[in-house]
């Protein structure tokens, strides 16, 4: 083994550096199914503690829904555990085709191809669709998987200030000579929970003959009146060229993602997208469960309606309690604290109060923008929300930040 | 001449990266990447601007986050291309 002390010390130093900088990500062990109520072992080795979960992407509360779990069991019994193959050799079952068709219908697109994750979908799609004579024009706050996907593509890379339509238009003017242009954005941005101006983006796409691509991972299943996503919310259903999204959040939360759009692009992904070609098929249990999820949310909007109500309730109450939050309508509710240590300390105090939330700071968010990101779910009941608000209020009082403005919090704790 | 180039780059950075409500000012020593004004992903616009403006091609190994971390650092790269 050539793993020398020199190498060992080097990697150890890297890890120590992360610990010192406070950027080391610690994993907590959950000893229960994913849900509003979970049992957590933290620190590792301690007795499990019952807490309310406010940091999962379990927007519709379907991660452990009995009908979804039952559908997974049925998939396991009828189609087995693994496929031991990529899709194009012997890894495509009838249920995969069924899910791809259902997703197309739900998203309002022509065709869909499944990937092992949305990270894989984003890593693969750009290189398939664009070449060096083309331009990718992306919002600066797109998800890391899009950044990586764009880096794997030979097209020229441009980006515009976050949600700044004038800046986007400047970039579109700058790239008039390119063969194809693609405007690239998240539907909902994961740190602020703000929504892309898709109506304006579609308008600019038409004006400058540019394709529009949206990663709708934080929206599919609940944004818009029928939960179809940000395009429905913004009134541009059927006008987005390419949608990528995940099965790993609202749609059951297991794993898997997809590229959805015009048939030619989807077919080309099947032929050329490297993460698709060289990853194993999404396993049958996930597929049968995801098929059930689409059935459930197509039949009724009850869950997305409850999520909307929960979000509205939490946002109103936490604002009334005196917290400085990023305004909006999305179940991602960033409670702004600005100072990284304050965010970490408050998150830990919240955990002691039985509420599991996470503090985010640089480099995950911009410097001086530290916050606790709360995520609301349709799985939460009113009493869960009230308990979280009461705990936040108690902890907020301890740190004397209730009713304080951004300026005042920064004066007290610094950036 | 080099003062004019510095001014040109500072103006570009302000226009390309700062929002209207930003109170931050930028001078030749202001850290750009390490301060978070420009993230490593958005740095590509700055590289492209320099390449187009001065008709040069900055190889990727030279376009590091350290090399782009201030206008003065950028001036050092430009010097290598005889732009000054």
Q: CB distance B36–A158 less than 8 Å? A: no
The answer for A163, left when phi > 0, alpha when psi is -120 to 50, beta otherwise, is: left
**What are the tokens at A72?**
């997974």
Whether residue A277 contacts residue A120, with contact meaning beta carbons closer than 8 Å, is answered with no
Residues of chain A numbered 346-375 and touching chain B (CB < 8 Å) = 362, 366-368
Catalytic residue among A104, A138, A190, A361: A190
A249 is catalytic: yes
Strands of the sheet with A370-375, listed across from one edge: A332-338, A370-375, A358-360
A218 is catalytic: yes
Minimum-distance CB partner of B42 among A140, A156, A368: A140
In a 3-state reduction of DSSP, which class is residue A30? Answer: strand
Handedness of CA A173, A237, A153, A263 (dihedral sign): negative
Q: CB distance A147–B41 less than 8 Å? A: yes
Q: What's the confidence (pLDDT) of residue A22?
A: 81
**Helix ranges, A22-117 (H):** 66-79, 94-107
Q: Check pLDDT > 80 for residue B23.
A: no
Q: How would DSSP label each residue in A273-291?
A: -HHHHTSPPPPHHHHHHHH
* Predicted confidence (pLDDT) per residue in A45-95, tens digit: 899 999 999 999 999 999 999 999 999 999 999 999 999 999 999 999 999
ipTM: 0.85
Q: CB distance B35–A362 less than 8 Å? A: no
Residues of chain B numbered 17-76 and touching chain A (CB < 8 Å) = 17, 19, 35-36, 39, 41-42, 44-45, 48
Whether residue A152 contacts residue A279, with contact meaning beta carbons closer than 8 Å, is answered with no
CATH number at residue B33: 1.10.1200.10
Catalytic residue among A96, A249, A306, A384: A249
Q: Terminal CA-to-CA distance of chain B, rounded, Å?
A: 6
Whether residue A82 contacts residue A116, with contact meaning beta carbons closer than 8 Å, is answered with no
Domain limits at B49? 2-18+27-80
Q: Check pLDDT > 70 for residue B1.
A: no
Write down all domains in chain A, each with its CATH number in brackets: 27-56+302-413 (3.90.1150.10), 66-299 (3.40.640.10)
Q: What's chain A's average pLDDT? A: 97
Q: What is the mean pLDDT of residues A145-156?
A: 96
Place of tokens 């999520």: A307
What total of structural domains would you count in chain B? 1
Region of poorest pLDDT, from A209-223, A337-351, B40-54? B40-54
Contact of B11 with chain A, judged by CB distance below 8 Å, is answered with: no
Distance from CA of A12 to the nearest CA of B (A): 23
Q: What is the mean pLDDT of residues A330-343?
A: 96
Q: What's the confidence (pLDDT) of residue A415?
A: 79
Contact of A406 with chain B, judged by CB distance below 8 Å, is answered with: no
Q: CB distance B36–A157 less than 8 Å? A: no
Q: What's the confidence (pLDDT) of residue B25?
A: 86
A190 is catalytic: yes
Region of poorest pLDDT, from A22-36, A107-121, A203-217, A374-388? A22-36
Beta bridge partners of A246: A257
* Predicted confidence (pLDDT) per residue in A348-389, tens digit: 999 999 999 999 998 889 888 999 999 999 999 999 999 999
- Residue A314, CB-side half-sphere exposure with 13 Å CA sphere: 34
In a 3-state reduction of DSSP, which class is residue A258? Answer: strand
Query: Which pLDDT band, with edges at 50, 70 and 90, does B76 fall under?
Result: very high
């Amino acid at each position: 083994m050539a793993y020398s002390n020199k190498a060992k010390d080097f990697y150890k130093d890297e890890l120590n550096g992360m610990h010192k900088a406070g950027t080391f990500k610690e994993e907590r062990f959950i000893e229960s199914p994913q849900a509003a109520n979970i049992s957590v072992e933290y620190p590792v080795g301690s007795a499990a503690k019952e807490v309310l979960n406010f940091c999962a992407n379990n927007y519709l509360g379907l991660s452990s829904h009995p009908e979804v779990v039952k559908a997974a069991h049925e998939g396991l019994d009828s189609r087995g555990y693994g496929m031991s193959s990529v899709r194009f050799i012997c890894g495509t079952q009838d249920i995969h085709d069924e899910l791809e068709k259902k997703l197309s219908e739900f998203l309002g697109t022509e065709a869909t191809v499944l990937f092992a994750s949305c990270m894989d979908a984003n890593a693969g799609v750009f290189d398939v669709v664009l070449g060096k004579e083309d331009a990718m024009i992306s919002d600066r706050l797109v998800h890391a998987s899009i950044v990586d996907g764009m880096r794997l593509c030979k097209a020229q890379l441009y980006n515009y200030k976050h949600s700044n339509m004038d800046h986007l238009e400047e970039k579109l003017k700058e790239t008039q000579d390119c063969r194809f242009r693609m405007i690239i954005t998240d539907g909902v941005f994961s740190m602020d929970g703000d929504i892309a101006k898709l109506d304006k983006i579609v308008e600019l796409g038409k004006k400058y003959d540019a394709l529009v691509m949206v990663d709708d991972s934080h929206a599919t299943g609940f944004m818009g009146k029928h939960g179809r996503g940000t395009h429905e919310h913004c009134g541009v259903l059927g006008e987005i060229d390419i949608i990528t999204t995940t099965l790993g959040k609202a749609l059951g939360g297991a794993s898997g993602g997809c590229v959805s759009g015009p048939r030619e692009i989807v077919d080309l992904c099947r032929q050329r997208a490297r993460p698709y070609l060289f990853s194993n098929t999404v396993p049958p249990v996930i597929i049968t469960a995801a098929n059930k999820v689409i059935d459930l949310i197509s039949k009724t909007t009850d869950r997305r309606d409850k999520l909307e109500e929960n979000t509205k309730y939490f946002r109103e109450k936490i604002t009334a309690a005196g917290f400085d939050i990023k305004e909006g309508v999305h179940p991602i509710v960033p409670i702004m604290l600005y100072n990284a240590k304050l965010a970490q300390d408050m998150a830990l105090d919240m955990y002691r109060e039985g509420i599991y939330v996470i503090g985010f700071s640089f480099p995950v968010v911009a410097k001086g923008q530290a916050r606790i990101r709360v995520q609301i779910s349709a799985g939460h009941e009113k009493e869960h929300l009230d308990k979280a608000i009461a705990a936040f209020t108690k902890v907020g009082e301890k740190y004397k930040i209730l009713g304080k403005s951004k300026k005042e919090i920064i004066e007290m704790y610094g950036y | 001449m080099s003062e004019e180039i510095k001014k040109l780059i500072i103006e570009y950075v302000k226009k390309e990266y700062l929002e209207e409500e930003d109170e931050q000012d930028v001078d030749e020593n202001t850290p750009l990447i390490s301060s978070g004004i420009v993230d490593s992903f958005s740095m590509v616009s700055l590289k492209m601007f320099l390449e187009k403006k001065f008709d040069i091609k900055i190889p990727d190994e030279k376009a590091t986050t350290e090399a782009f971390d201030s206008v003065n650092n950028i001036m050092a790269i430009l010097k290598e291309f005889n732009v000054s």
